[in-house]
Amino acid sequence: MDISCLKRRGLMYVLSSPSGAGKTTITRFMLKQNTDMMISVSATTRPRRAGEVQGQDYYFTDLAEFNEMVDNGDMLEHAKVFGHYYGTPRIPVEKALDSGKDVIFDIDWQGTQQLREMARGDLVTVFILPPSAKELENRLRNRSKNTLETETQIRDRMDKSNDEMTHYSEYDYVLINRDVEKVMTQAQMILDAERLKRHRLSGLSDFVRGLKEGR
């Protein structure tokens, strides 16, 4: 029996966390470790920052075009965050999944809820928690030195983080980022296990039938 008849459908691997809890670091690690994984590039209405590349960092669009994509069903999920809209274009993700490629998402709980409604069978969700509230605040303050955020903006992010963390129970897996090296390993272990789930493999029944028939 030719094993090439077995085809794995890609999965949607969601990483969510409060700002500063480490999901960006973990996302970069996952992409480096897995050449058959791509990151979902979001569309956004927020202005492009210095150094950002259209189609690589985000698909930058205006509000009218963004709303048109939503109305046409061309977004898998969308949400308003800090005054700007973000969303996941449908077509690139579906093409990747059909080709057996995994797609990693860096989105919040609102987007995750919408994805669950539309793509439950393809979805794997992981929530990253900080080791303590104090450590989270320290990370946000250190980050603000580069982004020049005001004290009010920092407090807004802390308030949003507190709200986000209440949604941890909606996720398949929860990791506490005490040690980033350990968490990255755990995130990879989750991906490896989810890839092996039976329902992601097409052609399996034909393969088993061939084994029984001695092919």
Task: List pLDDT tens digits, range 175-199.
Answer: 999 999 999 999 999 999 999 999 8
pLDDT band at 146 (very low <50, low <70, confident <90, very high): low
What's the confidence (pLDDT) of residue 207?
Answer: 85
For residues 204 and 6, the answer to whether their CB atoms sit within 8 Å is yes
* 160 vs 185, residue with greater confidence: 185
Whole-angstrom distance, CA of residue 2 vs CA of residue 23: 40
pLDDT confidence tier of residue 1, bands split at 50, 70 and 90: low
Q: H/E element holding 71? A: helix 63-71
Average pLDDT, the chain: 90
Q: Which residue has the tokens 């303590």?
A: 132
Whole-model pTM?
A: 0.85
Q: Would you state the pLDDT for residue 69?
A: 96
Q: Is residue 30 over pLDDT 70?
A: yes
* Residues of the chain above pLDDT 70, percent: 95
- Taking a C-beta distance cutoff of 8 angstroms, is the pair 91, 82 a contact? no
pLDDT band for position 203 (cuts 50, 70, 90): confident
Residue 142 in this model has a pLDDT that exceeds 80: no
pLDDT at 125: 97
Tell me which H or E stretch contains 16: strand 12-16
Tokens describing residue 122: 């393809």
- Res 183: pLDDT: 97
Q: Which CATH number fits domain 3-40+102-212: 3.30.930.10, 3.20.20.70, 3.40.50.360, 3.40.50.300?
A: 3.40.50.300
